[in-house]
Amino acid sequence: MDNLSRTSIRRWTMLIAFVLVTTAFLITGIDAIDPSLLEILHHPQEGIYLVMGFLLIAFFSGSILLTVYLIPEKADVDGYEPEVTPQIPHAGADVEPLTKNPFLGYRITDDEQEAIRTRLRDAVLTMIQRHTGIETDDASTRVRRGDWTENATAAWFLGETPPPRSVRLYARISDGHAFQHGARQTVHEIVAYEQRHESQRGHAP
């Protein structure tokens, strides 16, 4: 049973049980206040059987709902593939702990944001120098201009380029969300940069 089917069964069973229980309580209340009002539904003498019938159906509906709820959800997790960030070699290893934190679920202070940004920028500078052999100043210029990557979000996050559309959309929610998006994209771009250059080195004659 897939997750959609399980959810649908629970929803409809709960709805039916709720309707039946509500109806049973209404009939019981009407019978206690003025039994003559039940003549439209049934003969007054048999009103008790009608109420009992609704209560029994409601009870069994609740039992079915409980059974469905307690069914092991092994099938639900078989198709789940947790998001995995690939290992970051060399300079990127310094920022690997950041990949294990999705930057969501808590508020990041300004000091924490600056520390993360500095750490990522230092990792990128080290990475560029190692793979290209250029000086620190030249590497800093590439990062400032965003020339080290084609990822506009990563270029903006570490440099002075205008924020791309995705960042502007996140910023409409909050600056924190924009920062989180930029940090995540930068980490993944570091991974991609390292993997590209390692692959090129492996295929070099």
Round to whole Å and give the CA distance between 124 and 171. Answer: 24
Residue whose tokens read 């995995």: 84
**Residue 164: enclosing H or E segment and its boundaries?**
none
Round to whole Å and give the CA distance between 156 and 150. Answer: 11
Round to whole Å and give the CA distance between 142 and 134. Answer: 10
pLDDT tens for the chain, residues 1 to 205: 444 455 556 566 667 767 766 776 676 666 666 666 556 555 444 555 555 666 666 666 666 555 545 544 443 334 334 444 444 444 444 555 555 555 444 577 888 889 999 999 999 999 999 999 999 999 999 999 999 999 999 999 999 999 999 999 999 998 888 998 999 999 999 999 988 878 766 655 5
Cα atoms found within 13 Å of the Cα of residue 181, Cβ hemisphere only: 20
**Residue 40: enclosing H or E segment and its boundaries?**
none
The greatest distance separating any two alpha carbons of the chain, rounded to the nearest whole angstrom, comes to 98
Contact 91, 123 (CB under 8 A): yes
Burial level of 197, CB count in 10 A (0-12/13-18/19+)? middle
Round to whole Å and give the CA distance between 97 and 92. Answer: 10
HEC-encoded secondary structure of 75-97: HHHHCCCCCCCCCCCHHHHHHHH
Whole-number pLDDT of residue 121: 94
